[in-house]
Structure 1
Amino acid sequence: MDNNNNNNNNNNGDAMIIGDGQSRQQQQQPPMKRVFTPFQPCRSADCYKKLQTINEGAFGVVYKAYDKETGEIVALKKIKMEREKEGFPLTSVREIKVLMELKHPYLVDVKEMVFSDKSVFMVMEYIDHDLRGLMEAIKKPLMQSEIKTLIHQLLSGVKFLHQNWVIHRDLKTANLLYTNSGELKIADLGLAREYGSPLKPFSEGVVTLWYRAPELLLGTAIYSTPIDIWSVGCIFAEIISREVLLPGSSEIDQLDKIFKMLGTPNETIWPGFSKLPLVKNLNLIPQPYNNLRSKFPHITDLTYDLLERLLTLDPERRITASEALEHPYFTENPPPRDPVLMPHFPTTHKAS
């Protein structure tokens, strides 16, 4: 059950708890970087002309469109209302709230909300690619310097969300957009939640299976920012290898793949592991070896070290976004590529 407990009242410089909100390191809470725009009348959806369908998911349909008044190309997300019996979808309320209040270069920008007689639309900046589709479309792997730029941008956006008490809860390559200006944008915040200290229970069924942290798979309802960091580690590995790191077919299979890759947890490497809700239901076969390195034999030692820290089994010991941005991986040669020099690609959105 989700309990909303944000920390808008904690702007007095009190120490915030990072990680899962229990015994992790403390640091001073940064000032809130929220944007509260003055009320403006909502325009009609008729101000936009749809050009093509870009994507359709559980929570909405996204169109490429243009503003009839300015000619600006935008992404127009129609919010699905058909399944709602009691008003506006809660997931959409959360996404709109987060994206309208939090502005950052590596978060997709929401411009306004528009309405028609029976539909509600979110107007966002139009971006040519999602990272998953782009990696499937391009023929050659990204250069090391380009991967560093993408991961640095991703961690910067994730750090910003976490500093502002927001967990994304569904980071994956399909939810990351890439502009032809060389910028990565975090999108699809329908599952995002504000969190607080102390932590309260949240929904367990979050994060797409292949990117889901082991503590979620083991049934914890008390979690925080480390679940996003695990997803970043899976994304990092996927960008390097151009294939999904842990493509499980079920929750049990996902856990099996994680433990075969990283070793079976115990109380020594993950204090409290045995007390997680679903551990008693598992017949765990001890596998003491971490096989992550054998999956990536050609990466540098620093690349491997960052990847391993992102994919640490114990969420208390998993690196934070702030710590990851200071990792020496980003200062070893080759350095991250300047975004203006990042490659440009033909759009991967097919007309439909």
Structure 2
Amino acid sequence: MDVSKRMSLPMDIRLPPEFLQKLQLESENSPLCKPLSRTSRRASLSDIGFGKLETYVKLGKLGEGTYATVFKGRSKLTENLVALKEIRLEHEEGAPCTAIREVSLLKNLKHANIVTLHDIIHTDRCLTLVFEYLDSDLKQYLDNCGNLMSMNNVKIFMFQLMRGLSYCHKRKILHRDLKPQNLLINDKGELKLADFGLARAKSVPTKTYSNEVVTLWYRPPDVLLGSTEYSTPIDMWGVGCIMFEMATGRPMFPGATVKEELHLIFRLIGTPTEDTWPGISSNDEFRSYLFPQYRPQALINHVPRLDTEGIDLLSALLLYNTRSRMSSEASLRHPYFQTLGDNIHNLADTGSVFSLREVQLQKDPGHRTSVFQPLSK
């Protein structure tokens, strides 16, 4: 009796004996082969322990913000580690709408490179989102390897990032807050997009839920100059900045203010003109800054470890004209990724890139501890 499969549950789930007993009794009265109705599936999930706080054990606090606290926990159903994101509902800062947005988006996203939302627990005072637990993020990974990554690993992380984004973009979902802290990494080196709280929001906020000022470092110039025409290219500029950071060990445009951020961008990529950014000369905000006319610099001088194909991809991501900026879908087929082999394009959505023998992480040159070892096949 393959209950887990019938109810679309994870294979490693430990079903409570009393639930199995109840199912046994029910099956004697009605054939089990019929698919469950939505109502009976929901009732059965509740019997198993989904949607209940007592199903999870809190192990310690991971972080706290104005209206949300994240705990490390363990599921009694699977014994797996989880991250419990508790969102207080009585707070007046409008938190629930971003939380509800995050829930509605993530519920439907099933991909190896997107963090899995396992469960939702709703009480009067609190909404708890139960996510899969990952040990690290890209920022910690870079710190851990002394900001000196193997170029092979940069490529594997970039492909996984593009893969997760392409899945979202095909479904008209934008992330809109890509940065190394939102790219989670587990001990196998699987990279997953997380924190979809800002996805599809109407404006780009200036504060995060923990009241930190949102970093401008990964924000595209069109948004910095007031554009509210959000589409998938908004994410691709940030991907380029993250690629540069992995390849060099330092943030590409670490500006503290909008003006400084734009200044850093223009100084490297060149001050935009009607040729590189049609319509820019009539942008009031751009005109008010009176930037000097910088010429674009050769990227290879700033990212010497990146090969020709890598420089080509980076250049295609950092284009001012959003219509020309390379998409996540097109990026996956870029020659830069050719060395990962053809099989990587035939993986199922939920398949890991590391299920392929030809995809293996190497030891990072600046690597300090033994957390990330090359995978033994």
TM-score by length of structure 1 reads 0.79
TM-aligned CA distance change 1:252 to 1:140, over 3 Å: closer
Write the distance in 1 (CA, Å) between the matches of 2:261 and 2:307.
27
Give 1 or 2 for the bigger CA radius of gyration.
2
RMSD of equivalent CA atoms: 2.7
Counterpart in 1 of 2:27?
none
Write the distance in 2 (CA, Å) between the matches of 1:55 and 1:269.
42
Q: CA deviation at 1:138?
A: 2.5
Q: CA deviation at 1:179?
A: 1.2
Q: CA deviation at 1:227?
A: 0.9
Residues 49, 68 of structure 1: 8 Å contact kept: yes
Is 2:80 the partner of 1:72? yes
Residue identity in the other structure for 2:222: E
Write the distance in 1 (CA, Å) between the matches of 2:167 and 2:340.
26
Residues 219, 276 of structure 1: 8 Å contact kept: no
Is 2:233 the partner of 1:226? yes
Q: Structure 2 unaligned runs (5+)? A: 1-37, 207-213, 345-351, 364-369, 373-377
Counterpart in 2 of 1:62?
70
SS state of the match for residue 190, structure 1?
Answer: coil
What is the percentage of aligned positions where both structures have the same residue?
35
Counterpart in 2 of 1:214?
221
Q: Structure 2 matches for 1:37-116, cutoff 5 A?
A: 39=42, 41=46, 43-57=51-65, 60-84=68-92, 89-116=96-123
Is 2:357 the partner of 1:342? no
Write the distance in 2 (CA, Å) between the matches of 1:139 and 1:220.
36
Residue identity in the other structure for 1:342: L
SS state of the match for residue 211, structure 1?
Answer: coil
Q: CA deviation at 1:265?
A: 0.1
Residues 180, 343 of structure 1: 8 Å contact kept: no
Write the distance in 2 (CA, Å) between the matches of 1:85 and 1:209.
22
Q: Structure 1 unaligned runs (5+)? A: 1-35, 195-201, 348-352
Residues 57, 76 of structure 2: 8 Å contact kept: yes
Q: Structure 2 matches for 1:298-309, cutoff 5 A?
A: 298-309=305-316
Q: For each residue in 1:21-75, what CA deviation from the matched residue of structure 2 results, as whole angstroms up to 9, or x when unmatched? A: xxxxxxxxxxxxxxx9964546321221111122334552221111234422111
Write the distance in 2 (CA, Å) between the matches of 1:66 and 1:55.
17
Residues 116, 132 of structure 2: 8 Å contact kept: yes
Structure 1 or 2: more helix by fraction: 2
Residues 152, 362 of structure 2: 8 Å contact kept: no
Write the distance in 2 (CA, Å) between the matches of 1:282 and 1:164.
37
Is 2:341 the partner of 1:329? no
TM-score by length of structure 2 reads 0.74
Q: Using CA pairs below 8 Å that are at least 6 residues apart, which structure has the higher relative contact order?
A: 1
Q: CA deviation at 1:292?
A: 2.7
Write the distance in 2 (CA, Å) between the matches of 1:279 and 1:205.
21
Counterpart in 2 of 1:173?
180
Residues 263, 288 of structure 1: 8 Å contact kept: yes
Q: CA deviation at 1:80?
A: 3.6
Q: 2:253 aligns with which of 222, 243, 246?
A: 246
Write the distance in 1 (CA, Å) between the matches of 2:93 and 2:194.
26
